[in-house]
Amino acid sequence: MPEGDTVYQAAARIRRAFEQKTLEYTQFRVPRYATTDLTGRTVESVRSIGKHLLIDVGDDLAIHSHLKMEGAWHVHRIGTRWRKPAYTARIVLRTDAAEAVGFDLGTTEMLAAPDAALAYLGPDLLGPGWDADRAVALISADPARPVGLALLDQHLMAGVGNVFRCEACFLRGVDPRRPVGDVDIPAMVDLCHRLLQANRTNRVRTTTGVTVSGRRYHVYGRGGRPCFRCGTPVSRDFLGEPDGFSDTDRVLYHCTTCQT
């Protein structure tokens, strides 16, 4: 599942091949931008902000994408066979030597003044200006809200998705349904920061330190299987509120014994 670490890595791959290079070919496979042509523009920078990826192309204009649940950016030499079906491609960019293709992107758009457009996001856990105190203050402002929902709210802190939400709550021994006011939020925020930092360059994401399939996470995706710590079957249920999250975002994996 794409989260802040996934987008950070995607930005790094595109940056290595495209930054300060001229775009020789561009194609946007979405109706709104079907006629947009950025050929001749220079890629000034490539960056991630939480789960958002920005490719800055000058004049305060950026290609903005969000991976949502299924999206991915592939970067390779021109002529390389695509590893995903062509009909799932939303953006195709080329320099004289490299190609970047965005597949199954949940958001594909051109943003004028991108920093202003994304100013609603909370502090970026992997950003150079990470501000833990501000993240703590924003999350703590609603003490009655379940912490499992607060951690997913990108307005409060940008980069945590369902994997890190479930894993952070497990590692802190916290039931995700507990109100924010009953949780050590500075410790939770610090843990989220450390988890994303630790995974920002990993080829395989892990919160257990093990990269073998089935053992990479303590609880995420392990519904009905025994908790590694106590043996209790990991619970899979839902936590939601009318805030726009999808049903999948609301899936909770947690240990009812270890997380009280």
Residues with a catalytic annotation lie at: 2-3, 51, 250
- Roughly how many angstroms between the first and final C-alpha of the chain, as a whole number? 26
Question: Quick one: 157 exposed, middle or buried, by C-beta within 10 A (0-12, 13-18, 19+)?
Answer: buried
Between CA 166 and CA 168 the distance in angstroms is 6
Determine the length of the chain: 260
Closest by Cα among 241, 244, 245, 239 to 259: 239
H/E segment holding residue 20: none
The label of the residue with tokens 């379940």 reads: 146
State the DSSP code for 181: G
Between CA 87 and CA 38 the distance in angstroms is 21
